[in-house]
Amino acid sequence: MLEVSKEVTVERNITLIDRDNISERSNILANEVRIALVYNGISHTVMLATPEDIEAFAIGFTISERIVSNINEIKGVDIEYVENGVIVNIEITQRCFMALKEQRRSMAGRTGCGLCGVAQLDEAVKPIKEVPNTVNFDLGLLPDVLLKIKEFQRTYEITGATHAAFGINLAGDVIYAHEDIGRHIAMDKLIGTFSQRNAEKPAAVLLTSRASFEMVQKAASAGVEVLFAISAVTALAAEVAEQSKITLVGFCRNGRATVYTHPHRLQLHEAPLQPALAECE
């Protein structure tokens, strides 16, 4: 039986081979544990995740997967550490629980995979949910934002093994930051944090990963209007963002950004972007 550690990182002895040199040393690894999500006493899914901010993950997953429509339909979260993982007991309203039972699917979560075990293909893409239109974000702030996020990626700096999701306000400040070995989990943790009562909702979300359609879908579930990704955007992600009315921006690095959908929420040097604009510097 694998021993469960609550630590974000673990130390392991390794053999380092560097050209012809061989040395023994210790190495720091990102930790991952099995987390079982149980709704009203019924097991729903098991995910692999970094063992921190577990309550935020449970809340964010419950919202982003549309098991509930808002935080008020989550009545309680209880975390239990057991010999081979973590059990998170989530109590939701009876109405939500009955709906979950009707559309229940078997999901086996794996690192970096958000669709493993989906029983039917048409369950992969959820019905389109449009986000509001309240944000006007200055794209000129983005280079400074990208510099700021490095100080929040402590686990990545040590291990090089984690993704991160950041909540950004209109001033370009990082107001929320979450790391995890899984990009979907980092996003869920972020959603769980800002979805709680009296929490400030970010003007935009920045991902250190690619923007796949699941990430856009999660953003839509949480009402995120602007989604930035340091890496690429997939075709289905752009399609879902277009229909969800999300402003989707990829390749945010080196002073550049590629705008795929709904540029009207963005401005550059106080000038609004034009709908035909695909790339800006």
Selected catalytic residue, list 96, 113, 116, 280: 113
Each as own residue / partner, the long-range contacts of residues 153-157 (CB below 8 Å, 24 or more positions apart, any chain) are: 153/177, 153/179, 153/208, 154/179, 155/8, 155/9, 155/30, 155/50, 155/179, 156/208
Tell me: is residue 60 an annotated ligand-binding position.
Answer: no
Tell me: is residue 84 an annotated ligand-binding position.
Answer: no
Tell me: is residue 210 an annotated ligand-binding position.
Answer: no
Tell me: is residue 95 an annotated ligand-binding position.
Answer: no
Active site residue 113: yes
Q: What is the DSSP string of 112-138?
A: TBS-TT-SSGGGSSPPP--------EE
Tell me: is residue 250 an annotated ligand-binding position.
Answer: no
List C-alpha distances in Å: 183 to 16, 80, 112, 162.
28, 24, 6, 8
CA separation for the pair 141, 228 (Å, rounded):
12
φ, ψ (nearest 5 deg) of residue 190:
-65, -45
Tell me: is residue 280 an annotated ligand-binding position.
Answer: no
Give catalytic residues, as residue numbers.
113
What are the binding residues?
251-256
